[in-house]
Amino acid sequence: MYYLKKLGHQELGSIGDDGNPQRGRYIYISSDTSVLSFFPPLTTQARNDNALLAVLPLYEGKKVYCNYVYHNDSFFGRTRNEYRFYLNKELENNALLFQVGDIILFKKDVMVFDNENQNVYFMDRITPDNASLYAQCSAIINNSKIRGGHAITDILLPQVEARISAIKNSSSIEVSIGKDVTTTIIKKNETREDAVSAIAGLFNAISFRDFVMTGYGNKCAITGNVIRWNNYNNLEAAHIYPKSHGGEFLPSNGIAMCRDLHWAFDKGFFTIDDDFRVRVHDDIDSEFLREFDGKQIRLPSDQFFVPNRDNLRYHRDNVFGLFKTTGRL
């Protein structure tokens, strides 16, 4: 099943005479029940309720995270009541790729990353240059009962399916997270009393790892290195406040580490202080670890990813030296 939307002038930011958008660019999502069931459910109880979607654009062959927001101000004393899919600049190659009249196609599916299933949305941009496919999709939209250039259809589109199959069989899929995504996440949740938990609720094990790896430039925060081949590498997203202790899938609760250092961090062989320096436990006799003692970790440039100091404190107080109390590893 596909969701089709023909793009309009206003949702693309109303391009001015200077060629620049006058406001943010987004895709207006129909409030028809058949369309809303295509996307994650959002509530009227939380203002600007939102979800983080993993999107695989068929014209790029990468995974991009985008914000899906329910602007439900009408339930909080105002008038706006609409759903928007915000255009991460990575979807448009940091340019104004999408044009008025383009048809955007979504297909909901599941892909396996790191041996775990992730709900994803394949996305394609269909332009008049692809005359036959564009004509077919335009006809589906014109015959749709959903007004405003929207359609839900189960008519199979072989050209689209072939490109989806190619991505599914790809041995290397890059993850791209733009600054505009993290900014939107913060902005849409900043007025909530439970803002931290609300943001954490957007993430799962896979998106947490993707964000943490991207925040650290896909390199170990301590060694500055990575061993990589296609989709395989020796990096892991280490929880600072352990998940087993109730820690959240929040990017600021994660640090990119190579596997052996992640293991040592979880066992309490070393910790990280408030100045973001490695502190190796006095009882650990390891030349490998000792070479990092006192070294400051490499920090992300985006504050959204920088380790939370409260979580670092929790690790020092409750995990550091844990190997001594457990008696075994």
Amino acid sitting at position 96: L
Long-range contacts, 176-179 (Cβ 8 Å, 24+): 176/62, 176/63, 176/64, 176/88, 176/90, 176/214, 177/64, 177/65, 177/88, 177/90, 177/210, 177/211, 177/214, 177/215, 178/64, 178/88, 178/89, 178/90, 178/94, 179/302
HEC sequence for 304-329: HHCCCHHHHHHHHHHCCCHHHHHCCC
**How high is the pLDDT of residue 329?**
47
Does the pLDDT at position 187 exceed 70? yes
Q: What is the mean pLDDT of the chain?
A: 93
Cα separation of the two ends of the chain: 49
Contact 26, 11 (CB under 8 A): yes
The Cα angle at residue 139 between residues 138 and 140, in degrees rounded to 5: 90
Does the pLDDT at position 328 exceed 70? no
* Burial status of residue 245 (CB atoms within 10 A of its CB: 0-12, 13-18, 19 or more): exposed
pTM over 0.75: yes
* Burial status of residue 83 (CB atoms within 10 A of its CB: 0-12, 13-18, 19 or more): buried
3 state DSSP class of 203: coil
> What is the distance between the alpha carbons of residues 53 and 204, in angstroms, rounded to a whole number?
11
Does the pLDDT at position 96 exceed 50? yes
Q: In sequence order, what are the beta bridge partners of 153?
A: 2
Question: Domains in the chain, start-ordered, CATH in brackets?
Answer: 2-175 (2.40.330.10), 206-326 (no CATH)
Tens digits of per-residue pLDDT, 141-150?
999 999 999 9
The Cα angle at residue 78 between residues 73 and 82, in degrees rounded to 5: 40
**How high is the pLDDT of residue 326?**
61
**How high is the pLDDT of residue 69?**
95
Tens digits of per-residue pLDDT, 279-302?
999 999 999 999 999 999 999 999
Contact 24, 18 (CB under 8 A): no
Residue that wins the pLDDT comparison between 29 and 197: 29
The HSE-up count of residue 224 (CA atoms within 13 Å, CB side) is 6
Residue 39 per-residue DSSP state: S
Residue 8 per-residue DSSP state: -
Average pLDDT of the residues in 25-51:
94
Average pLDDT of the residues in 197-203:
93
Tens digits of per-residue pLDDT, 130-172?
999 999 999 999 999 999 999 999 999 999 999 999 999 887 8
**How high is the pLDDT of residue 232?**
84
Pairing of β 62-71 and β 174-176: parallel
**How high is the pLDDT of residue 323?**
85
